[in-house]
Structure 1
Amino acid sequence: MPWRRLIPISGFDHKVNIAHSHILTCHTDAVLSIVFSPDNQTVALASQDKTICLWDASTGQEIRRLADHTEVIWNIAFSPDGKTLASASKDGSVRVWDVATGQETQRFLGHTGAVWSLAFSPDGKILASGGSDMTMRLWSIGSGQEARVLKGHTQAVLSVAFSPDGRTLASASADRTIRLWHRSTGGEKARLLGHTGFVWSLAFSPNGALLASGSKDRMVRLWEVSTGQELRQMRLRNWQEFVYRLPRLIGFRFKYDNWVNSVAFHPSGQTLATGSYDHTVRLWEAATGRQLARLTGHTKSVTSVAFNATGTLLASGSVDRTIRVWTLG
């Protein structure tokens, strides 16, 4: 199958084309995390089979495989310069890999259970990780040491994210809360309440003004970072959408047939992508909450979605062991 096969999709103003590749030769189990390198040249995939695969984004050819974790790899992240890749695993470790050589360069140990999530700071100096031990830990890339432990959640920390300016960290938990933290002090600055199920995924808008969250409660919520307020401008009632606008910002919430596993903002900040347990990828207009497209093809839960840096490609990974790359025209 060709790496790119363009097919028009209705429902997105005829500007979306689909390009997908079934990747069955690398992973033998569910694809749990997918991310593009900052230069758009490489796609990294992490799997339940304990391996990471690096692929050439233009050809779909496998570059190399990283296989040193002893348990499931839940999350991966490229450093801002794209030279290193970090991985979080059920084996309790956070590892940093040299992308060019595939060699492990650092290993961070400190979590007392599975590590669910991680994120690099925008300056690349700090790596944040969240674990089943209910903590978020900050690791210094320069010294290789643990810089700080952030405590407050009462269940596993499932997702972590840095704001674009690097001053704020967000964490999402199985305790159904989202917390915002000061990077400089480690102090909690806000607690975002509203979800009634595990909060699986977080994403800041490119300008840092908004934070999107996806949950097992079947909702995607949009929060105003400066105030910590949920923006409830769209709700679904009897599966019909009603949009309510506020003078300053327009937010929304969605209800799904099943829970939301992953959320990602388009680099423009105008579109939000979600991956769901109902096997679909959906695109939403951030200004109104209008669903732009419902992308089908996966046969099992969609675990991860990611835009490339230019916003021309959207990749999705699934429990069905495949990734699909959707071309946005």
Structure 2
Amino acid sequence: MKKQLIILVITALHIMLLGCSEAKKDPQNEFNHLSQAPIDLGVISSDAATVAFLNGGLVTVSDVRTTEVKHQFKLHNHTKVSGISLSQDNKLLLVSFDTQLSVWDLNKNSLVGQFTVAGHSEFAKISQVAIYANPMCVLVGMTDGTLNLIDFENNLTKQAKLHEARISHLEMGEHRQLVMTAGHDGQVKLSYIDSLSPKYSYSLSKRVTSAATGLRNEILFVSDALNEQVLLRPFSNMSEPIKLVYRERFRWFRAAALSPNGEYLATGSSKYWWTLWDANNGREIDAFAIESATSTAMILDMHFSKDNILTTLSSDGIVEFWDINTLASTQH
């Protein structure tokens, strides 16, 4: 009887860990070490050519292919860094703290300025940031659900209370017409950039742990902290969300990216692996183990190029390049 019980327990554990144990490692996959020490935060540029990351009190901007360090800035602010962002032309770097923003001009290798932002609540702090150039503007999500837009060209600021809790994700579409926000209130929204009024919203029962949007906001991915992960097409006739299909009871999604053509979704877990999905039906294509230097390695950011090359950045300071067309064609 005891032997049978042990077998049942082992079988149950195997089923629970199935997704992790099935992650494949491609020995031919290209990767680069950008840092010899673990990194706290990191972002991949929109062209996937540059990475900015935080290690201790130092922010480093490196070339992902050559690993050359382009810029390094020592942070003198003693409060915790809450976010890092690179503009789409790789000319501006933004670092946020509790309520303060610091912006560097990477061409001039100099600090442009520092700014203070606030939410509706006097206790609100910065939770998410994004910076854009040509013209320059900054999006700032707050822990009380407030979104701030700073338009430097027109010397204008806008503010709206879009969420009832911390904004955990934000991103502006390719044509700067809509901004996607998601928060700990379980809401994901697309809002007009000129008025910050919502155009589309969808609710999950738990806080949002990962979210991504297509270049033109034609597709959204959002997942909560339990077992609801859906693909949404806000402006199509497909009113029903597409749920991700997997065998485990639940999965934790920490990072996400959608391919430019909307065909594929990549999600990062809280462990050392990521998953490729068919965005048309929510079915899993395969899972892949990342290159790691520590047992706690996980993906901090991931980005698709227009050629369907996925770039991933891990907490070990390792950047990897994945040919999605090849991986999808060899699906099992």
TM-score range, shorter chain: 0.7 to 0.9
Paired amino acid for 2:206 = G
Ranges in structure 1 where 5+ consecutive residues have no aligned partner: 1-9, 241-254
Shift of 1:135: 0.8
CA change 1:263–1:269 in 2 (3 A) is same
Show CA shifts across 1:264-295 (max 9, x none).
12233322211111332222222232323322
The Cα of 1:138 is off from its aligned counterpart by 0.1
* Among candidates 65, 79, 83, match of residue 58 of structure 1: 65
CA distance in 1, matches of 2:303, 2:38: 19
CA contact (8 A) 2:259 2:265 kept: yes
Are the structure 2 counterparts of residues 17 and 127 from structure 1 closer, same or farther at C-alpha, using a change threshold of 3 Å?
farther
Cα distance in 2 between the residues matched to 1:51 and 1:229:
46
Is 1:96 matched with 2:103? yes
Structure 2: runs of 5+ lacking an equivalent: 1-21, 327-332
* 2:288 aligned with 1:295: yes
CA 1:266–1:52 in structure 2 vs 1: closer, same or farther (change >3 Å)? Answer: farther
Q: Sort the Cα spacing of 1:148 and 1:54 in 2 relative to 1 into closer, same or farther, 3 A.
A: same
Structure (1 or 2) with the larger CA radius of gyration = 2
Partner of 1:42: 50
Q: Is the 8 A contact 1:214 1:262 kept in 2?
A: no
Query: What's the % identity of the aligned pairs?
Result: 18
Instruction: Provide the alpha-carbon RMSD of the alignment.
Output: 3.2
Distance change >3 Å, CA 326–CA 219, structure 1 → 2: farther
- State the Cα deviation string for residues 232-270 of structure 1 (Å, max 9, x = none): 334547539xxxxxxxxxxxxxx41xx212111223332
In the TM superposition, what is the alpha-carbon distance from 1:88 to its structure 2 partner?
Answer: 2.9
Match of 2:321 among 299, 302, 326: 326
Q: Which residue of 2 aligns with 1:222?
A: 231
Q: 1:129 aligned to 2:140?
A: yes
> Using a 3 Å threshold, how does the CA distance of structure 1 residues 153 and 184 change in structure 2: closer, same or farther?
same
Within-5 A mapping of 1:1-329: 18-25=29-36, 28-38=37-47, 40-47=48-55, 49-68=56-75, 69-89=77-97, 91-111=98-118, 113-120=124-131, 124-142=135-153, 145=155, 147-194=157-204, 196-226=205-235, 231-236=240-245, 238-239=247-248, 255-256=250-251, 259-297=252-290, 298=292, 299-300=295-296, 301-308=298-305, 310-318=307-315, 321-328=316-323
Looking at structure 2, the residues matched to 235 and 118 of structure 1 have their Cα atoms a distance apart, in angstroms, of: 28
TM-score (norm 2): 0.76
Whether the 8 Å CA contact 1:121–1:166 is kept in 2: the answer is no
How far does the alpha carbon of each residue in 1:127-174 deviate from its partner, in whole angstroms, 9 at most, with x for none?
Answer: 21102132110011325x551011131111111111222211121111
Q: Is the 8 A contact 1:79 1:120 kept in 2?
A: yes
Distance change (3 Å), C-alpha of 1:228 and 1:150: farther
Cα deviation digits, residues 198-242 of structure 1 (max 9, x gap): 2133321134211112332254321222279874334547539xx
Please say if residues 34 and 64 of structure 2, whose CA atoms lie closer than 8 Å, have aligned partners that are also in contact: no
Note closer, same or farther for the CA distance 1:20–1:134 as it changes in structure 2 (3 Å cut): same
8 Å contact kept, 1:87–1:95:
yes
Q: What residue is the counterpart of 1:243 in the other structure? A: none
Report the Cα offset of residue 122 of structure 1: 7.9
Do the aligned partners of residues 215 and 70 (structure 1) sit closer, same or farther apart at CA in structure 2, a change above 3 Å counting?
Answer: farther
State the one-letter code of the partner of 1:188.
P
**What is the CA–CA distance in structure 2 between the aligned matches of 1:260 and 1:11, rounded to whole Å?**
15
When the two structures are superposed, what TM-score results if normalisation uses the length of structure 1?
0.77
Q: Hey, what's the Cα distance between the residues in 2 that align with 1:160 and 1:125? A: 17
Q: Which amino acid aligns with 1:162?
A: M
Aligned partners of 1:50, 1:309: CA distance in 2, in Å?
34
Structure 2 SS opposite 1:260? coil
Q: Report if aligned partners of 2:23, 2:289 keep a CA contact under 8 Å in 1.
A: no
